[in-house]
Structure 1
Amino acid sequence: MNADKLRTVEDWVAYYRHEFGLAVVERGGFVMLPVTNHVGVVHLPVRRAEKVRAALQNQQQSGPMLARQIRWSFLAEPDSRPGEQIMEVLNRLDIGIPAVGSAVMLPTGLGRWTREGCHWVTPPTKDSKLPPLSAIITTALAVGTGSED
């Protein structure tokens, strides 16, 4: 499939499914990736996300990332869910982990400017493994304190 020829949301749903193996759906005229027991998401403020991205690349655990104006969203393999105390720390640092059953909107374009207001920092690839959720969270906590963001 050639991304330049995709015009409709249905085209983009088929593209994400075929090219990247993502179980996306059309919802309300947008391409949505449901958060499941197989695909998780971690939302991070931009400055912390940039540090996490660099650290994960050094660890050879990077994966797909979406950029929005104030936060980036990392796709992850949900290997474990943080406990209550860690969730409190994450919340104070404005780090979000959407619950199973929620969804994240994906762009209908591979360029920087899409109608959804997001773009791929690192697009998904068909055969790459998602980094473990625990690795993203551990890295996010290790790269700096909330006062640095």
Structure 2
Amino acid sequence: MTVVSVEARLAELGITLPGVAAPVAAYQPAVRSGAHVYTAGQLPFVDGALPVTGKVGDGEGLVDPATAADLARTCALNALAAVRSVAGTLDGVRIVKVTGFVASDPSFTGQPAVLNGASTVLGEIFGDAGTHARSAVGVAVLPLDSPVEVEIIAELPA
């Protein structure tokens, strides 16, 4: 069986990881502790800016769930860039846990579907090593009025 590197898989999927997003406060984007890398909450920055802001929901003036899921995907890619920045490579990495926060309209209950945007791309990139535990949490507001935020815990190879 041929083992494909994660970098090769990213290229196959047409995904280029962004540079590590600059912190917006006093923290590090990712920290290694033993065999694990813990990322800070990653916002869906694209070229240093949030493409969309606001609450997620189904009504007028709200960020629609499909757009929010795409933003969660972007958050996950930003988190992977942070992991790679401290690990040096994504080869051999296993995604252990994903925690996602969705700035939700009070009537919105579709947070798990929004976070599927992050979970799906991690599965596409890592295969079985991308299967993870997850929490999807609805919150009143996120930093910079971001609709979503995602953090991951990754396990490094022995």
TM-score of the pair, normalised by structure 2: 0.24
TM-score of the pair, normalised by structure 1: 0.25
